């Protein structure tokens, strides 16, 4: 079972290595396995890690948290469509997105952020570490 988890995580790691930084919503079809399989494999390996495996633990936690960014393909397309307007508005202080596309993108992005926060808590629990010991870029 651990060998299968390792294969799933290696495949997922390859995908993470190929994606462009800064994407906030990625098509789920990019994943080599289901989100459920990747989540279960990550939690299984995190639970079995020893105290000396901090680098691997941190990489697994990051990957687990970033899994939230893989959404249904149509949602990823909607975020991409609304992203241009959100980026423009971010340059204009105090402006809020008004178009239906930007609002829809914002809803998806906010849902992703919430899921990322929940995933971080779940990963830290599986790794038996306090949130304060999570990888610094995620705190």
d(CA 61, CA 38): 12
List CB contacts of 42: < 8 A, sequence separation 6 or more. Answer: 5, 9, 60, 63, 64, 67, 123, 126
Q: State the total domains in the chain.
A: 1
Per residue in 13-59, pLDDT (tens digit) is 999 999 987 778 999 999 999 999 999 999 999 999 988 889 999 99
Domain housing 94: 2-138
- Quick one: what percent of the chain has pLDDT higher than 70? 87
Is 0.95 topped by the overall pTM? no
Backbone angles phi, psi at 120, to 5 degrees: -60, -45
List CB contacts of 127: < 8 A, sequence separation 6 or more. Answer: 46, 47, 49, 57, 60, 61
């Amino acid at each position: 079972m651990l060998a299968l988890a390792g294969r799933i995580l290696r495949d997922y790691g390859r995908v993470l290595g190929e994606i462009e930084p800064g994407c906030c919503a990625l098509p789920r079809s990019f994943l080599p396995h289901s989100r459920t399989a990747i989540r279960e494999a990550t939690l299984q390996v995190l639970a079995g890690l020893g105290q000396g495996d901090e680098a691997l633990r941190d990489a697994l936690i990051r990957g687990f948290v970033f899994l939230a960014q893989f959404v249904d393909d149509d949602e990823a397309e909607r975020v991409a469509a609304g992203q241009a307007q959100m980026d423009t508005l971010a340059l204009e202080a105090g402006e809020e997105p008004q178009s239906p596309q930007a609002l829809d993108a914002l809803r998806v992005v906010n849902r992703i952020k919430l899921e990322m926060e929940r995933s971080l808590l779940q990963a830290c629990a599986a790794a038996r570490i306090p949130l304060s010991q999570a990888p610094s870029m995620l705190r």
